[in-house]
C-alpha cells in the first residue's frame, strides 16, 4: 500500500515526516507498511507498525499545510 492509499481509505492526513502521537507517545511517520503507518517513536531504534486510526493523533491541518 502507499501513503495515498492510507490517506484516502482511512481519511487521515498521514505523510512521511509528519510528527504524530501514538497512545500518548510522540514520534514521526517513516513508512507505510501494507495498510499501516510505520512510526519511529522518540527514543526508539525500531519502527512501530500502527493502525492509522487506532490511538494515533495527527497535528492540526494548519500545521500540516506548512510542510
Mean per-residue pLDDT, 32-61: 94
Predicted structure pTM score: 0.87
pLDDT, tens only, 1-33: 789 999 999 999 999 999 999 999 999 999 999
CATH number at residue 60: 2.30.30
Number of folded domains in the chain? 1
**Which band of pLDDT confidence, cut at 50, 70 and 90, is reported for residue 42?**
very high
Domain that holds residue 39: 3-65
pLDDT band at 61 (very low <50, low <70, confident <90, very high): confident
In angstroms, what CA-CA distances link 36 with 62, 63, 65, 66? 24, 22, 22, 24
Amino acid at each position: 500500500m502507499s501513503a495515498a492509499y492510507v490517506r484516502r481509505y482511512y481519511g487521515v492526513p498521514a505523510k512521511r515526516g509528519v510528527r504524530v502521537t501514538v497512545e500518548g507517545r510522540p514520534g514521526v511517520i517513516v513508512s507505510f507498511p501494507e495498510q499501516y503507518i510505520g512510526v519511529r517513536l522518540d527514543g526508539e531504534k525500531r519502527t512501530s507498525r500502527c493502525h492509522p486510526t487506532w490511538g494515533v493523533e495527527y497535528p492540526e491541518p494548519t500545521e500540516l499545510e506548512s510542510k
